Structure 1
Amino acid sequence: MCAKPVYLTFDTGHMEIAPFVEEVLTRQDVRATFFLANERTRTGGGSLDDTWAPWWKKLSDQGHVFASHTYDHVYWRADLPDGRFRVRASAGPLEGKSQIWSAEDYCRELKRPVERFHQMTGKQMLPLFRAAGGRTSPALLKAAAECGFTHVGWSPAGFLGDELSSEQYPNQMLLEQALRNIRSGDILLAHLGIWSRKDPWAPAVLEPLIQGLKQKGFCFATIDTHPAFRTAARLPELKQ
């Protein structure tokens, strides 16, 4: 039984460090939760394209769990008076363009990674999601809930800082901060590659962080076992 669980989660990114992340998780016998969007990769493809499909299948076979991050990494920007939302994608054909979406539009976007994941792996995602950038509103969360999705954020101490400037937040600082502040029950957030960070986080921090947390008596669990999401993760299927 895991007495002091923490929940390591990864959002997609440019994917250059993805094989390294898998190596560390395998070596450390850690299962993680991945939130999937089809983000632009270093090689010019997408993180959910056919190049990466065997990798996601491999991870699913290893016992990791998966949830939606919107297909085109779509940011909520604002609620509108008529009940719709202003959004902007950071991937896909409408990258960088402001759009106006209904609740139904947003639900369709949440379901696209679910469908793609099933194509790639033959398995089902959890009925959970993480909004791009973690940006939500009560209205957006309500819209997602009405089509079967529960939002998963992260803990303040679980923000591992791989999105931050490496000049201002060097890897050693981020490692020491995480080991000092993380507590049992925290949800940890990292990414499979951040374009703007010059000194990549994962090669320097991921394995020392896992080892250090283990030494402090922590263990790693997937988000479907978290008390706040255990029930939502067992929903039989997403609503049509």
Structure 2
Amino acid sequence: MRPAGLAAAVLLLVGGVATAAAADTCRGTIYLTFDTGSQSQAELIAATLQRQQVKATFFLANEKTTRGDWSLDPSWAAFWKARVAEGHAFGSHTFDHVYYKGDGEDGTIKVKAQFGEHAGQAQRWTAAQYCSEIGRVDRRFRQLTGRGLDPIWRAPGGKTSRRTIAAGKACGYTHFGWAPAGFSGDETASETSSNAALLQQSLATLRDGDIFLAHMGIWSRKDPWAPADLEPLIVGLKQKHMCFATLREHPAFPKVP
């Protein structure tokens, strides 16, 4: 067996042992979450989660992908349907990946979309318009998969205000950010933040109840995070007797009346 193949086999074996150990003595829960991005690592992430029998939460926006399409195009329907069948959770990341830029004095919300018809344009939205943007993802997801999102959302860049949080609440969506220790670092420059350093930092600092954030591909990072770090992170956390859950199991997940 080649060295790379041997390493992979050892990783899978250790992962299996860690899974059994964690199941016996779970000392905490980690919530893995993934935001859409370039989607360059989408298939790898899905395969890793399936192999490790871990459920995660995906926050979706209609972003440009390395395939030349968009992450919520019909061309991605089979991918998202498969993730639904596997039992993952799904939230909105705003349809056009819309950044919050501030609160207007007139009660409006200042925004700038990264994609879509108004990409790069400064706009002022009412709370109802902001709410509608969150819900656009749900409507598209239903068209692609036949089911709606979970009642959760995440603002691009994690940038929010009381006004945006309230706008989401008004149309039934609870906002979820991530823990300080939960930032994967996959948006940083690989020249200054190596995958090895990021992995070590995550394993050393993640604690029970933390929400972990990574992306399904980052255009700017030269050395992608997921191929190097995702499986070792999961295996390492299992060895620490950490379990994994979707945000449906999080204490802050909205309760259904």
For 1:138, the equivalent position in structure 2 comes to 162
Choose 93-102 or 209-218, whichever is displaced more.
93-102
Equivalence map 1:68-87=2 (5 Å): 68-87=92-111
Q: TM-score, normalised by structure 2?
A: 0.88
CA distance in 2 between counterparts of 1:14 and 1:189 reads 15
2:201 and 2:217 mapped to 1: Cα distance?
Answer: 20
Cα separation, 1, equivalents of 2:166 and 2:42 = 33
Give the equivalent residue in structure 2 for 1:183: 207
Structure 2 residue 88 is the aligned partner of structure 1 residue 67: no
Q: Does 1:8 align with 2:32?
A: yes
Structure-2 residue corresponding to 1:40:
64
Deviation at 1:7, TM superposition (A): 0.1
Alignment of 1:146-157 (within 5 A): 146-157=170-181
Q: Shift of residue 143 of structure 1?
A: 1.5
* Displacement after TM superposition at 1:62 (Å): 0.5
Query: How large is the Cα RMSD of the aligned pairs?
Result: 1.1
**How much does 1:204 deviate?**
0.4
Give the corresponding residue for 2:224. Answer: 200
Alpha-carbon deviation of 1:142?
A: 1.1
Please identify which structure carries the higher helix content.
2
Match of 2:75 among 51, 61, 64: 51
Deviation at 1:93, TM superposition (A): 2.1
Partner of 2:256: 235
**Rg (Cα) greater in structure:** 2
- Residue 165 of structure 2 aligns with an amino acid whose one-letter code is L
Write the distance in 1 (CA, Å) between the matches of 2:173 and 2:89. Answer: 15
Deviation per CA, 1:160-198, whole angstroms, max 9, x where unpaired?
110111111010000000000000100000000111111
SS at match of 2:75: coil
Task: Give the C-alpha shift of residue 3 in structure 1.
Answer: 4.3
- 1:34-54 Cα deviation digits (max 9, x unpaired): 000000111221100011111
- Aligned residues: percent identity? 54
CA distance in 2, matches of 1:212, 1:49: 35
Which deviations, in whole Å up to 9, do the C-alpha atoms of 1:118-152 show, x marking residues without a partner?
11111121111000110000111111111111100
Residue 137 of structure 2 corresponds to 113
* Equivalent residues, number: 233
Runs of 4+ displaced beyond 6 Å: none
Contact 1:127 1:235 in 2 (8 A): no
Of 62, 86, 89, 2:113 maps to: 89
Q: CA deviation at 1:103?
A: 0.5
Other-structure match for 2:18: none
Q: Distance in 2 between matches of 1:22 and 1:95?
A: 29
Q: In structure 2, what residue type is equivalent to 1:55? A: F
TM-score, scaled relative to structure 1: 0.95
- SS of the equivalent of 1:51 reads helix
Indicate the residue corresponding to 1:168 in structure 2: 192
In 2, Cα distance between the equivalents of 1:93 and 1:13? 18
Distance 1:83 1:148 in 2: 20
d(CA) in 2 for partners of 1:147, 1:38: 20
**Cα distance in structure 1, aligned partners of 2:142 and 2:239:** 37
The match for 2:41 is: 17
Contact 1:13/1:41, CA 8 A, preserved across alignment: yes
